[in-house]
Structure 1
Amino acid sequence: MHNERDALIAGLIALAGFLKANPEVPVSMGPVAVRAFPEHGPDHQMRAEVDKVAALLGTEIDPDHLPHGHYMTGIDFGPVRYEFTAILAAARARHAAVDSYRDCIQTDNT
């Protein structure tokens, strides 16, 4: 393979072929998502990358995720979805603050 992108595509094609040839193998009937993210950087740069991908996909920015600090777009192929998401600085800071309490609280398992 030339790069990680080619390896991912080949793997998805191989998985689809395997599942098609082996109908007895169970699969989830729920949605499947392939997610990609821009390089971390200033919010305006990450939003610009998402805008660029939205233009390539012919899609809009998903307004439902904006209040959570996720600037994202996506496209569906039946139950398979491709998403490109920038997690903006404020959302990353909120997550880091919440995560800083990990292992500080212990439950009484009696």
Structure 2
Amino acid sequence: MSTDPKRRTAFITGLRELADFVEANPEIPIPRASIPVHYFPERVTDSEMCAEVDRIAELLGTEIDPVHLPHDHYMTARHFGPISYEAVAILAGARARHEALTSYRDCVTPDTDTVHAA
């Protein structure tokens, strides 16, 4: 849990500065999609990470999102228009699958000299 007062103040200040800047500069484009602000609990046991997300869900007044459970992402979110605050625990199963998928990362080199017809 990150509750360091200096980091918290800097985070809030940065959000306000961004909002003020975008409001004062209407020519600046804004993202088309919604913007999540993610909080990831410290990597401990799955049950400890889930307990942290449960605690945050209670603070937010939200439920655990069942859509992400089959992917071993235990999460909750509260939306503020197109901005959302999301607390996400990436459980051991998801981390293991990701590590397996990326285990060959530097073993394959694509042939970039070949021209492909469109």
Q: Same fold (TM over 0.5)?
A: yes
Aligned residue type for 1:64: V
Deviation larger for 24-33 or 42-51: 24-33
CA distance in structure 2 between the partners assigned to 1:36 and 1:26 by the alignment: 26
CA distance in structure 2 between the partners assigned to 1:106 and 1:76 by the alignment: 41
Query: Secondary structure of 2:105's match?
Result: coil
- The structure number with the bigger radius of gyration is 2
1:90, CA displacement in angstroms? 1.0
CA distance in structure 2 between the partners assigned to 1:67 and 1:73 by the alignment: 14
Aligned residue type for 1:9: I
Question: What is the aligned length?
Answer: 109
Q: Write the mapping of 1:1-110 to structure 2, written as runs, cut at 5 A.
A: 2-109=5-112, 110=114
Aligned residue type for 1:90: G
Structure 1 residue runs of 4 or more that deviate by more than 6 Å after TM superposition: none
Gaps of 5+ in 1: none
Identity of aligned residues (%): 57
CA distance in structure 1 between the partners assigned to 2:11 and 2:77 by the alignment: 18
Aligned residue type for 1:95: H
Gaps of 5+ in 2: none
Give TM-score scaled by structure 1 length: 0.94
